[in-house]
Amino acid sequence: MLQVSRLFIYPIKSLAGIEVVSAKVTDRGFEHDRRWMLVDANNRFLSQREYSQMALIKTAITEAGIAVYHLQQHDKGIDIPFIPTTGKTGMFTIWDDTCPGQYVSNEADDWFSETLGTTCRLVYMPDDSQRFVEEKYRMDDEVTSFSDAYPFLILGESTLGYLNSKLEVELPLNRFRPNIVFSGSEAHLEDSMAHIRISGIDFFGVKLCARCNIITIDQDTAIQSKEPTRTLATYRAKNNKIYFGQNLLHKGKGTVHVGDPIEVLATKETVFD
């Protein structure tokens, strides 16, 4: 039986994620998932692609907001409130998209700038900010948060297990930053998921996930290597891109729990069939 085995949210884009036992589904993904983002002086997003040390900044959900600390400096953290303390807004760029958001606080800007060694600011996406999914892949007028492009990423345990069977050193799940992880299938079953249902919520597989260099960054040391890209290129490459996991859109709201069964309602052919 297919079932949800693990769930993750990533409150601040490109920082460490949080494993949870349940997650509320909102209009743009899991609650709190990538609603915050670091930007440079040009209001363009920062990520581990350029600043691998972002992997070392960990997050946790508290009653009041997001607790943030550096893996090597536990005693020098900062608490980010759910509601920004400034009323200042701006337009912020993620890849080819630009959307409105709100600056969080001067304190947060100073902390992240000092911690990362580069001038940056922390911004928040309020509920009235609408960032639409790319028209080519959206079914309706779906929106997403500060994610790269889609509200959800799903990945099978067996998919990672199959990759690890080919590697000299096994890699943890955090390299791949999924939201939903499932068990009970063969490797890469997520590729063919066209329509699934979890906890009464409909999810639609709209695009396989093309992977960047973040999967080569050790999330506990920020050290970059050639794996797993080198190995994935031998069996998961098409058109000069490497695919691992599936991006999802959804209809409906509710809560997804670890242990929830996954019902596959429709399948599709994939580029690896």
Taking the C-alpha atoms of residue 203 and residue 23, their distance in angstroms, rounded to an integer, is 15
What does the buried/exposed string (b/e) look like for 6-38 if buried means 16 or more CB atoms within 10 Å of the residue's CB?
A: bbbbbbbbbbbbbebeebebbebbbebbbbbbb
Last residue within a domain, chosen from 96, 131, 166: 131
Q: How many other CB atoms are found less than 10 A from the CB of residue 108?
A: 27
Q: Which residues of the chain have pLDDT under 50?
A: none
Taking the C-alpha atoms of residue 135 and residue 139, their distance in angstroms, rounded to an integer, is 8
* Residue 120 located in a structural domain: yes
Same domain, 61 and 92: yes
pTM, rounded to two decimals? 0.97
Same domain, 145 and 247: yes
User: pLDDT tens across 200-226, in order?
Assistant: 999 999 999 999 999 999 999 999 999
Which pLDDT belongs to residue 272? 85
Which pLDDT belongs to residue 76? 83
Q: How many domains does the chain have?
A: 2
Which pLDDT belongs to residue 229? 98
User: pLDDT tens across 47-98, in order?
Assistant: 999 999 999 999 999 999 999 999 988 778 999 999 898 989 999 999 999 9
